[in-house]
Amino acid sequence: MKSYELIGQKLQKAREELGMSQKDLARRLGCSQASLSNYELGKRRLYLSDLHRISKILNKPITYFLESPGENAEENTRDKDDLHNFLKQQFMREIMLEAKDLTPMQRRSVLDYIKWQKSRLSGDMA
Amino acid sequence: MISFELTKDQKALQKRLHSIALDKIRPYSLEIDAGRPGKIDKRFLEIIAQENLNAFIIPEEYGGMPLKWVTLSIVMEELGFGCAGFAGIYAQTLHAVSTILIGGSTIQKKTFLPLLLNPSGAVASFCLTEEKGGSDVSSFSTTAQLGEKGYYRLNGSKTPIINAGDAEFYVVWANTGTGRKGLAEINAFIIPRDTPGMGYGGLHDKPGLRVAPTATIFLEDLKIPSSNLVGPSGSGYLLFTQTIDRGRALVGSICVGLARAATELAIEFAKERHVRGRPIASNQGIGFTLAELATELEAARLLVWKACRRMDKHMDYTALSSMAKLFASELAVRATSQGMLILGQKGCKRPSLMDKLLRDAQMSRIIEGTSQVQKMIIATQL
């Protein structure tokens, strides 16, 4: 994988982990959503000052975006195990059972609500 | 609205540098080119000092003047017109400075940048490439291990390095880890001249850009404080790409100057040389070639200016910078090849300016990434 594609993928992953949309991050960076999308696709090169700001917003060290994919393999496996255990918890089962009868649009609303809650936690709405 | 006209100040600067290129740089460079490889000629260092050339690349607050990339491209074109090798020495200093400007601390800027305004003339060096992997940072074998009390120890070698042995300071890239974390372990360090542990190999003999001395630098247990690390730890890859992205457009300027020198020489010769009572320029075969070169020269310069204008405006410039370098360096090769054909046997007799331009042009296609590398970069941006 080309270097800037790797950096872009890491950027997308870190952004999604915080439940932040491209639009929100682009606004905070002062760039267009199209530019941010190009960063994430590796079609536009991120300069040091940009990545420095991104690392602060997304709360990751600069090295996170530059590490080889192999270096995170163990972390990825751990992430998957954590997710599996999380989904087995009782309240998650309840949420899934309740959501089962919802229409796709209602499910979308639930997802949007969760993302809104997360963005409040990350201070994005401040 | 984009203006294609230079300002009054830019025109005056262009005129001044053109005279220096023609009257000083070119005569010296033909002489140096014909000799054995040596250190930077003292007369070149004097030109750098007398004309205060380094002030164009150092911001005002550190003793220079407001940094404008379009203005710098005018400087580079004229220096390239005089001698691409001389311009290469200057570009090397620019790269080292550029890295510090992008990621360096205020203390680093205050400490190292004024050294280049030395009244005796000074240069810096940008030490990236290695024997085995070239400029592929992922395969760097030069290491920097963090040791006792905040000091790094550097080991390895860098080659080919312009200004090796002549520089006030060196910006050196090294791997600070075990290689497992890839690009996150690449870092840049500033190494002052005469730091114990730094050595230089013999000067390289090369076909073109002969006036720009090139050698290998060796780092043997070289101890440097961590305060000489440029930028946050792990930022070396980003520093390198941004520095080179900027530099490519300016190498494009040098190539425009080189191509212009060849085209002007060919036009002058074609107008003076008469065959069967007519100047050879009036023959369509020659006139059309000169017309094509003059057209492409304008196009190449505009590409360079556009890339530099985007740098001045803090806009994305990666693709345009590579396009400018690709187009201008290929044009330099075409202009000098066609120039050689037009001059015929006159161009082959050494010392010959066209012969030097031809050899310099071939090298210009290689430095800062070959034409294939430029195409790869442009393709990723499409």
Three-class DSSP labels, chain B:
CCCCCCCHHHHHHHHHHHHHHHHHHHHHHHHHHHCCCCCCCHHHHHHHHHCCHHHHCCCHHHCCCCCCHHHHHHHHHHHHHHCHHHHHHHHHHHHHHHHHHHHCCHHHHHHHHHHHHCCCCCCCEEECCECCCECCHHHCCCEEEECHHHEEEEEEEEEEEECCCCCCEEEEEEECCCCCCHHHHEEEEEEECCCCCEEECCCCCCCCCCCCCEEEEEEEEEEEEHHHEECCCCCHHHHHHHHHHHHHHHHHHHHHHHHHHHHHHHHHHHHHCEECCEEHHHCHHHHHHHHHHHHHHHHHHHHHHHHHHHHHCCCCCHHHHHHHHHHHHHHHHHHHHHHHHHHCHHHHCCCCHHHHHHHHHHHHCCCCCCHHHHHHHHHHHC
Domain A3-69 has CATH 1.10.150.120: no
B182 chain-A contacts, CB cut-off 8 A: 66-68, 71
At residue A125, the pLDDT reads: 38
At residue B213, the pLDDT reads: 92
pLDDT tens by residue, chain B, 382 residues = 467 788 999 999 999 999 999 999 999 999 999 999 888 999 999 999 999 999 999 999 999 988 789 999 999 999 999 999 999 999 999 999 999 999 999 999 999 999 999 898 999 999 998 887 776 777 778 999 988 788 999 999 999 999 999 999 999 999 988 666 778 888 999 999 999 999 998 888 899 999 999 999 999 999 999 999 999 888 899 999 999 999 999 999 999 999 999 999 999 999 999 999 999 999 999 999 999 999 999 999 999 999 999 999 888 899 999 999 999 999 999 999 999 999 998 888 888 999 999 999 999 999 888 999 999 989 988 8
B183 chain-A contacts, CB cut-off 8 A: 3, 6, 66-68
**Cis peptide, bond prior to residue B27, ω within 30 of zero:** no
At residue A4, the pLDDT reads: 85
Between CA B202 and CA B142 the distance in angstroms is 19
Between CA B304 and CA B82 the distance in angstroms is 18
At residue A3, the pLDDT reads: 81
Write out the two tokens for A123: 């201070």
Name A46's Cβ contacts closer than 8 Å, sequence gap at least 6.
Answer: A4, A7, A8, A11, A39, A54, B238
Domains belonging to chain B, first-starting first, are 8-117 (1.10.540.10), 125-236 (2.40.110.10), 241-381 (1.20.140.10)
Summary mean pLDDT of chain A: 80
| A&B contacts, CB < 8 Å | 66
- Cα(first)–Cα(last) distance of chain A, in Å? 37
Q: Which value, in Å, is the radius of gyration of the alpha carbons in chain A?
A: 17
Which among B102, B180, B237 is the nearest to A66, CB-wise? Answer: B237
DSSP-derived letter for residue A2 is -
Between CA B141 and CA B215 the distance in angstroms is 18
At residue B179, the pLDDT reads: 67
Enumerate the β-bridge partners of residue B223: B153
Whether the predicted pLDDT of A124 surpasses 50: no
CB contact under 8 A, B318 and A44: yes
At residue A69, the pLDDT reads: 66
CB contact under 8 A, B242 and A42: no
ipTM over 0.85: no
Which among B181, B237, B242 is the nearest to A3, CB-wise? Answer: B237
Half-sphere exposure of B13 toward its Cβ, with a 13 Å CA cutoff? Answer: 18
At residue A79, the pLDDT reads: 57
CB contact under 8 A, B183 and A61: no
Question: Chain A residue with minimal CA distance to B233?
Answer: A63
Which chain A residues have any C-beta within 8 angstroms of a chain B C-beta? Answer: 2-4, 6, 35, 42-49, 51-52, 61-64, 66-68, 70-71
CB contact under 8 A, B235 and A62: yes
Between CA B318 and CA B242 the distance in angstroms is 8
pLDDT confidence tier of residue A72, bands split at 50, 70 and 90: low
Active site residue B264: no
Between CA A12 and CA B109 the distance in angstroms is 34
At residue A126, the pLDDT reads: 34
Whether the predicted pLDDT of A46 surpasses 80: yes
Phi/psi at B285 (nearest 5 deg)?
-55, -35
What are the sequence ranges of the domains in chain A? Answer: 3-69, 72-121
Whether the predicted pLDDT of A121 surpasses 90: no
| Residue B250 and residue B311 in contact, taking contact as beta carbons nearer than 8 Å | no
pLDDT confidence tier of residue A122, bands split at 50, 70 and 90: low
CB contact under 8 A, A45 and B103: no
Whether the predicted pLDDT of A73 surpasses 90: no
CB contact under 8 A, A67 and B183: yes
